[in-house]
Structure 1
Amino acid sequence: MAGLADSGANPDVDLLYDINGLAKDAPHWFDRLMEYIGEYGLLLAMVLLVVWCWWSVRRRGGERAAASVAALVWAPLAAGLAVLVNVPIRGFVRRPRPFLDHQGLDVLVSGKTDFSFVSDHATITMAMGVALFVANRRFGLAGIGLALLEGFCRVYMGVHYPTDVVGGFALGTAVALLLSPPAMILLTPLLRAVEGSAWGGWLVRSRRAAGSRGGADSRGRTGDRASATEERDLAA
């Protein structure tokens, strides 16, 4: 598979040089910014996006709160599982990093000695973005947008081929979607049990949402008792 890295009439390599060439023309400070964003920043932004979605879901409450939180729990789990699946894939393909086979690349991150296909960063962000989309479309679209930006950054930094990124997107999407149904079957009852517990209910529903639900239940029970009293009075 190392032959994929050969130069010449190879659109993968041509696109690599085109995107990475932007780094050569950019100011030094911009390259350092892209280095941080591509290596750490977008991963952190994805985590914060999931936390933001969780905060929104638990404040809203509702009957499906446990299922919604379970879907959000699946997002980081899907990312971790996708990275584990990538371990044997990398070992089988054994594709060197592009800067090892091609001269003239502007490599923004040093010390990358592992194999190139597929990109872990692209896999993680797309798995989380797709899983987030399953839980909430609005937040999910933002997550997928972050994943696409991550893929661009990895090529811009000179550490991955475009096909490494596309492979990561495919792997992350496949794991997040195909394993979502069994994951929800396992996680939803667990989150419902947490929701009903005295120690972990706040993880699924905020106090305000829980209070609103309790108030509604209380009003419902009061109304039932009032109706029963009226029926007894009419019968007498």
Structure 2
Amino acid sequence: MAALDNPDVELDILYGINGLADRLPGPVADAVAFLGEYGIPLALVALVCCAWFAVRRRADAAAAVAGLLWAGLAAGIARLVNMPIADFVARPRPFVDHPGELTVLVDGKDGWSFVSDHASAAMAIAAALFLVHRGIGVAALALAACQGFARVFVGVHYPSDVIGGFALGTAVALLLAPAAMAVLTPLVRGAGRTRAFAWLTPRPGTGDDPRLAA
């Protein structure tokens, strides 16, 4: 699409960030590539688990845990929404548009470039987490920003692919949250009352220290 033709400023950013791969020691560049492909997504999942420990005994535990479930679902929905967008825009990867000009640190990326699935999923999780727990949400937003940087660093996305992913993930997480919470909150509340899923929102009187309930 003409609207996505790359202005010089975007190419300058792309080459500047990706050029770091040549200036950094090989093991460091490989570590950044690994983090961008696998490490940061796993860290975001770990933050969701940490948030559960932080909110499971709050007065609004059912709604808070539902919000954490929504974080994971929002990431999946963002990726599903991106499928028709990617096919419609049909933007080649930057290393396809500019062969031999970039250092590509991740193999097997043969899909379309816009928008970045990694960026959209990361931001969907971060935005949803921020609604549940501000402190952990800020940490998740920082990780999402690092995720976007890493996708450009490894040479598989343009900066605007990442910005588009951030916008898509945020939109899915925030715009669909009211409907999702309306469905998930009563489900979590009901599940928490059963023997099998009481651990989701533990209450005082079940072997927990009441002083920890808040």
Q: Report TM bin, short chain.
A: over 0.9
Larger radius of gyration: 1
Unaligned runs of 5+ in 1: 217-236
Unaligned runs of 5+ in 2: none
- 1:29 maps to which residue? 27
Instruction: Give the secondary-structure state (helix, strand or coil) at the position aligned to 1:191.
Output: helix
The offset of 1:209, in angstroms, is 7.2
The offset of 1:5, in angstroms, is 4.8
Query: Which structure features the higher share of helix residues?
Result: 1
Q: How is 1:95-106 mapped onto 2 (pairs within 5 angstroms)?
A: 95-102=91-98, 103-106=100-103
- 1:76 maps to which residue? 72
- 1:88 maps to which residue? 84
- 2:176 maps to which residue? 179
Letter in 2 for 1:166: I
CA 63–174 in structure 1, closer or farther in 2 if over 3 Å, else same: same
- TM-score normalized with structure 2 length: 0.93
Aligned counterpart in structure 2 of residue 49 of structure 1, from 47, 50, 55: 47
Q: How is 1:151-162 mapped onto 2 (pairs within 5 angstroms)?
A: 151-162=148-159
- Percent identity reads 52
Give the Cα–Cα distance (whole angstroms) in 1 for the partners of residues 84 and 59 of structure 2.
41
The offset of 1:155, in angstroms, is 0.3
- 1:149 maps to which residue? 146
Q: How is 1:1-236 mapped onto 2 (pairs within 5 angstroms)?
A: 1=1, 4-5=4-5, 9-58=7-56, 61-102=57-98, 103-205=100-202, 211=208
- TM-score normalized with structure 1 length: 0.84
* Number of aligned residues: 210
Give the Cα–Cα distance (whole angstroms) in 1 for the partners of residues 10 and 55 of structure 2.
41
